[in-house]
Amino acid sequence: MNPPPGVIVLRGGSELFNHPDVIGFYRYVLNEWRPPPERKIALYMGCTAVKPYSRSFIHLKVIRMLEKHNLAYVVQQYIISEPMILVPRELENKYPVANYDFPKHLLDDKGKEIFVKRLRIILDKVSKFHIFHVAFMPRHHLEIFTKAGKDILDKFIYVPYNVYFLPNLLRELKLLHHYVNEEVQDKRT
């Protein structure tokens, strides 16, 4: 199946965690996908009702901000998503990521359990690729993210998920970029 991005073909709630295409995507990210090595800062954002995510207002603002301030090459963007778990920005236009609708009120306790368990496994993998981790997501995703990242990402920076906090997010990312540059310089000398 290869519907165009934005055409919704998967609709539902927690049962989508067990859809074969959703599981296939999760396994691909877990077992095969790797971030570019220069992206030492991980930015975790919440998913959106709009697909692909980059068509949503706040995601578009973040993308443009990263590009404008030359941070896109050092910041790996991830989207925390029910049921996709963790979506690298580079894969947001692929099926099934760009083609599902999972209203957050349909996430039941069993779905939360699956979400936390799978996210924990994948965070353990991706955490090794990044020096710094920044969460910019709604509270319902933050709760899942915090549980899944316990003892893996104990020290992550949280910036409230609101367009008015974009200057704060930018300030944090610039500061972290400075630290990354210092670390690279220290390794060269």
Domain CATH code at residue 59: 3.40.50.10630
User: Is residue 5 domain-resident?
Assistant: no
Residue-range definition of the domain harbouring residue 116: 10-188
* pLDDT reported for residue 155: 82
Average pLDDT over residues 61-80: 97
* pLDDT reported for residue 180: 87
* pLDDT reported for residue 109: 97
Question: Confidence class of residue 2 from pLDDT cuts 50, 70 and 90?
Answer: confident
Q: Three-class SS of residue 157?
A: strand
CA distances, 15 to each of 10, 54, 62, 109 (Å): 11, 25, 31, 12
* pLDDT reported for residue 81: 96
Contact by Cβ (8 Å): 94, 61: no
User: Is residue 138 domain-resident?
Assistant: yes
User: Is residue 137 domain-resident?
Assistant: yes
Question: Is the confidence at residue 29, as pLDDT, over 90?
Answer: yes
| Cβ contacts of 44 within 8 Å, gap of 6 or more | 78, 79, 80, 133, 134, 135, 136, 137, 145, 156
Residue 29 CA to its chain's centroid (Å): 12
Average pLDDT over residues 60-64: 98
Question: Is the confidence at residue 4, as pLDDT, over 80?
Answer: yes
Q: Give the total number of structural domains in the chain.
A: 1
User: Is residue 132 domain-resident?
Assistant: yes
User: Is residue 152 domain-resident?
Assistant: yes
Average pLDDT over residues 48-74: 97
Q: What is the pLDDT of residues 112-159, one digit of tens each?
A: 999 999 999 999 999 999 999 999 999 999 999 999 999 998 789 999
Question: Is the confidence at residue 179, as pLDDT, over 60?
Answer: yes
User: Is residue 2 domain-resident?
Assistant: no
* pLDDT reported for residue 145: 97
Provide the mean pLDDT of the chain: 94
- 43: closest CA among 153, 181, 178? 153
Average pLDDT over residues 90-116: 97
User: Is residue 182 domain-resident?
Assistant: yes
How far is it, in rounded angstroms, from Cα 14 to Cα 105? 10
How far is it, in rounded angstroms, from Cα 73 to Cα 16? 33
* pLDDT reported for residue 189: 56
